[in-house]
Structures are given as C-alpha cells and as structure tokens.
Amino acid sequence: MSALNLTVRVHPVVLFQVVDAFERRAAESQRVIGTLLGSVENNVVEVTNCFCVPHKEHDDQVEAELSYALDMYDLNKKVNCNEFVIGWWATGNDVTNHSSVIHEYYARECNNPVHLTVDTSLQGGRMGLRSYVCIQLGVPGGKSGCMFTPIPVELTSYEPETFGLKLLQKTVGVAPANRPKTVPPMLDLAQISEASTKLQSLLDLILKYVDDVIAHKVTPDNAVGRQLLDLIHSVPHMSHEQFTQMFNANVRNLLMVITLSQLIKTQLQLNEKLTFLPTA
C-alpha cells in the first residue's frame, strides 16, 4: 500500500481534544503535539481519538515523555481495543525542523504514520487542517532523507457526533451575555419537525435550480444532474396510500416509545420518592 494513496478522515472529537490541549499548554510552549489513534482500511486512515504528549523543543533537540505516551496508549487499549496508533498531530500551520525527529519515533510504532497539523491560530479566519506522510528520499549508497508530502484530509462524523455538533451550533452567533450555558436536547417530535422544515427548504432549493436550468437562467451542471438522478432513483416507488400507511405506522411507533419512556421516568421518580417515606 503506497502512503501517497492514503486519505485521512478526522472525527470532531479529535479536533476538540487538540484545541483543549492547546488551551491548557504550558506558558512557555509554542505548540502542542500528541498521538493519533484510529484504524486503517482500504487506503482510508480514520482518526477517531487522540491524546496529548508533553514535550519540549529546543534549537537542537526535542524532549518528549515517551513513557507517558506508552502509558496513555495502554490505558486507551483497555477502553477501546479497536484503536491503534496511526500517527501524530501538532498544532500550527507548517511542518517544523523538529517534525522529522518526532516522525521517526512514530514510524517505529506503526507503518506509514500520518502527520496531522491543526492551525489553532485561526489564520485566515478558520482552523486549517492538513495531513502529511513522510516519503523517503535518497540514492543507493548515498545519503537518505525524508520529505513530508501532503495527502487528502476530510472531516467525518458518526450520527451521535453529528447530533452533538448540531446542539453546539445553536449557540453560534449568540452574544456572550445571552449565550445559554447549557443546550438541552430536543424532544423527538421537535427533531422531526426541525428535520422536516430543513428538508422542505432543501427541496425548494433543488426545485428552484431545476426551474432556472429549464428557463436557461443557470448553466446546467452535469455532475449536479447525475446526483439529482441518483436521488430520484433512491426514493422507493409507492402510492399515496402506501406512503400514508407507512408514515402513520412509524408515527404510532414513535409515540409508543415516547409514552413508554415517560412512564419509565415517572416510575423511577415514584420509586425515588418512596424510598424516603418513613416506615411503620
């Protein structure tokens, strides 16, 4: 497997941990480094977790607490045995002179380690994200070295992570004085209502684009057309009566789940109160 064919997918929890480590760094530290955890499959490196490794950088050397890194990895293996060392991360926007020294250590821990840089200084108004692999260079019998080569990187998330991010986004754009300290999860029916409203707005946007293409107001895009065709074919063919029956059945199931959860909650509250009643 060639390292240049790899694609890195980063989960949101990794970025949160990197930013948290950067905010808690020592006053004399310019940047923070750490270990990336995850898995590699079909040329895709999925970064699902990470932790910080204390270190100090001098002009001519790097001091890292490698025993701490090993202990943290062993502890993480007890919690999630499917996460392995896949590389390392560092805050900043560029690869530094010390990066090759740190990369050599991770090359002994895993094959083709990836290096992820997270720009916590927000240059350009956003958090830059870059990933690299180290390619060996040199001639037979001569000096050899390595070169950090960029590879594609993208953000991905599981459904629970997506739900958490949507909750966090509700505080974006709110003045600090009016910003809520906590954002409670929405009820199931409220989530359905919000998702339906968003779906309706997206459908209106698609219809407007199609109407503009038909009226020659917008230049047609073949890629968009193919995606719309795939979208239409993915919708199951059913009559209005079949759809209504399916929808009503799902709504009844949802209402049953909500009612059952409310009954369980009430029962727990009653049991909690009964434990404090005086006995005869």
Tens of pLDDT, residues 133-175: 888 776 676 676 778 888 999 998 888 888 777 777 776 655 5
What is the rounded CA–CA span in Å between residue 257 and residue 263? Answer: 10
| pTM of the entire predicted model | 0.66
Supply the mean pLDDT for the chain.
Answer: 80
Q: State how far the Cα of 272 lies from the Cα of 30, in Å rounded to an integer.
A: 52
80 pLDDT higher than 70: yes
Report the Cα–Cα distance between both ends of the chain, in Å, rounded.
75
What tens digit of pLDDT does each residue of 9-61 get? 999 999 999 999 998 888 778 889 999 999 999 889 999 999 999 888 777 77
Helix then strand then coil, % of the chain, to nearest 5? 45, 20, 30
Contacts of 118 (CB under 8 A, 6+ apart): 15, 18, 19, 89, 90, 91, 92, 127, 128, 129
Token duo for residue 200: 């309706």
| Residue 252: pLDDT band with limits 50, 70, 90 | low
Mean pLDDT of the 253-264 span = 64
Which stretch of 43-57, 105-119, 266-280 has the lowest confidence by average pLDDT? 266-280
